[in-house]
Structure 1
């Protein structure tokens, strides 16, 4: 949902973008009301901010400052209702918005803020419901593929097509079990052999995320380096590596992958592809720890978390020496 959608694709007529038209593609995730300057501290990124301008009407300095402060919040746009306290939006606000790159929307006096808020939140609810249905649909397809013995390749193709990302499933030594590439990356594979994948030389490439058992990392495919979002599969069965390069993966797709990983792990477990899992799982971890690369404490803790190594546990070592009597 974007600012352009609100202006051009809703039943609200005569909304005009009077500044920052290059921002019409800005995402719009919620609505907030600005009725005094203190509200600024609660404005969130990508929110549409609505105001009558009551607290700004006779203060040009405040008009300039509010534009600058709103830009710093990362809000989607400022919507100002006209013919209430402003007959038209002050030129000084439009000029400042153009200068800093903030979109300003002129809102006719006959629309209430509740109407606009209701429209936006209904769209958000509808989108979330649609996303839930789509997520249910793809999980159902993966489950059917599992129970009908269609194989891992069918699952990964479905998943790759749905999230529009290239996906590789590997063991913990980066041996590829299955791969599905989008058109932009078709050159990385052929119809006969699976691609070769390996970690970069710098073993500290892993960047832990806020989600358990996931990370961002750089991996090489056929000697080309790419950025991946990596999910460790349950029971040490392997990894799902999503090629993101310069893009990121949406939180919605991360949630979908979290649900899909259990089905993928089940498929791997019943196949004969998974061998020496426990050894594979620890190879990279211990290679990282003993490598000569400079490692910060944060690097070490992140990779311990990623590989479920309980670094807080105290360990000891005992030696027994037997003598002949």
Structure 2
């Protein structure tokens, strides 16, 4: 049991103590004891201190009695204990009323106890509690140290924390990825593999995180070395703020374990399972030296400018990966033998994705390297055959040269496919560099996208629904063919004059003559938003 007013009245060795005001606050903790022998002492009283008084200083002054109760409440003392049958037969009614009003517990103390008797009992209890806590925390740190040096896993170390503090704990990377977790009995948090958006708080802060659609409060202790943080599920009845120093020591041991694991991975060759693991695992938390080590193992020339081309199956997996890799390898080798700027390539794949890196000197411009990617994709399409080619989804990322960008190459390609496929379902090749507008729009909140739509082409959509026309489709074709009416009409299977007639009606509905560059761009943004929103 903790040291509270309830313990003092009901369980301590002291007898005949009574709470005469705010008896609903008996669970208020006691952190120390102070004696009120001078009114100036009030400003030195600390939160949760038990204040003892004989009442002599305020026995004949009702206004002073009320003022004292207010001031003690403001400084946050746990309770005011007053001796009776010396200067007071009973505690004055004015003090009782004021204490109930502001929420300050008042204790009636028997005359036969000295202040030193009461103080000794409380301080002895606090000392025993402090000693127990120190021994308990020492046992925790010893258990964590033993786990670190005996080779026990992170899960075991986290379970030690759970047993000590009786609350669930998550180990999150600095980017919000859940690296490990341990739970109290009957508690398990779902849907917390990765938190987005995420910003690492400082130690001692409380942060709200969403798990399976529910918000939970967590107490954070950051890990040294930038490894992330420990997040303890908040329990109002069991605050961890008093244990912050010990938790910070524990965080050092957890960081050492993470560093130990990292060094073991580097030295043991564990990463030789495939270069693709660098692209598909939670590699955003890898240090540059780890990335370089994996590149050296697989002879990947990280010093070159690179462009990643990723192939994904239309279905869950490639039916025959080798049938895909052979023509892709052939097309890449032919491109490297040509007089173009691509000097080498690097291919890695599994049943779910295939990555081809085109490598060249840093002096080669991005547009030139992207043009080489188009040449390679056409050559690969010719060798693979149209039927098999249409069963693929191909994403082409941005040009990069930094080491830290290597682990993100596959995700960048996957993101452009996921973003653009709903917009252009009849296509299967998507370049991140040529879909910048869609990428920028995708960063906007839904309300802002809706505003762009309402400010631009909503009139066309509503007119089409009301009248069965295809003005929005006509406008999209007009833009897609660079305002060439003949080509747009050909795509829509209508006469050129019909398309021109439709464009006049579109100008009327949009209140736009398509002569101002800003208007043209704004309308195009509206078309893009409509395509994204379906």
TM-score, normalisation: structure 1:
0.75
Q: Which residue of 2 aligns with 1:268?
A: 258
Q: CA deviation at 1:187?
A: 4.7
| CA distance in 1 between partners of 2:205 and 2:54 (Å) | 45
Q: Which residue of 2 aligns with 1:232?
A: 222
Q: Residues 17-36 of structure 1 correspond to what in structure 2 (within 5 A)?
A: 17-36=19-38
C-alpha change, 1:253 and 1:292, in structure 2 (3 Å) is farther
Q: Which residue of 2 aligns with 1:76?
A: 78
Q: Which runs of 4+ in 1 moved over 6 A?
A: 245-248
Radius of gyration: which is bigger? 2
Alignment partner of 1:199 is 2:196: yes
| CA distance in 1 between partners of 2:46 and 2:151 (Å) | 47
Q: Residues 303-314 of structure 1 correspond to what in structure 2 (within 5 A)?
A: none
Q: Which runs of 5+ in 1 are unaligned?
A: 190-194, 284-290, 294-325
Q: Secondary structure, in 3 states, of the residue corresponding to 1:230?
A: strand
Q: Which residue of 1 aligns with 2:156?
A: 154
Q: CA deviation at 1:103?
A: 1.0
Q: Secondary structure, in 3 states, of the residue corresponding to 1:39?
A: helix
C-alpha change, 1:188 and 1:246, in structure 2 (3 Å) is farther
C-alpha change, 1:26 and 1:235, in structure 2 (3 Å) is same
Q: Secondary structure, in 3 states, of the residue corresponding to 1:14?
A: coil
Aligned pair partner of 1:172 in 160, 174, 199: 174
Q: Secondary structure, in 3 states, of the residue corresponding to 2:157?
A: helix
Contact 1:199 1:218 in 2 (8 A): no
| CA distance in 1 between partners of 2:201 and 2:195 (Å) | 17
The structure where helix makes up a greater share of residues is: 2
Bigger relative contact order (CA 8 A; separation at least 6): 1
Q: CA RMSD in A?
A: 2.8
C-alpha change, 1:292 and 1:83, in structure 2 (3 Å) is farther
Q: Which runs of 5+ in 2 are unaligned?
A: 266-281, 291-403, 406-442, 446-534
Aligned pair partner of 1:5 in 4, 7, 10: 7
Q: CA deviation at 1:171?
A: 2.4
Q: How many residues align?
A: 273
Q: CA deviation at 1:136?
A: 0.7
Q: Which moved more, 1:265-274 or 1:165-174?
A: 265-274
Q: Secondary structure, in 3 states, of the residue corresponding to 2:218?
A: strand
- 1:4-55: CA deviation from partner (whole Å, max 9, x where unpaired): 1111111111111111101111111111111232222112211111111111
TM-score, normalisation: structure 2:
0.47
Q: CA deviation at 1:153?
A: 0.6
Alignment partner of 1:86 is 2:88: yes
Q: Which residue of 1 aligns with 2:286?
A: 277
Q: Which residue of 2 aligns with 1:255?
A: 245
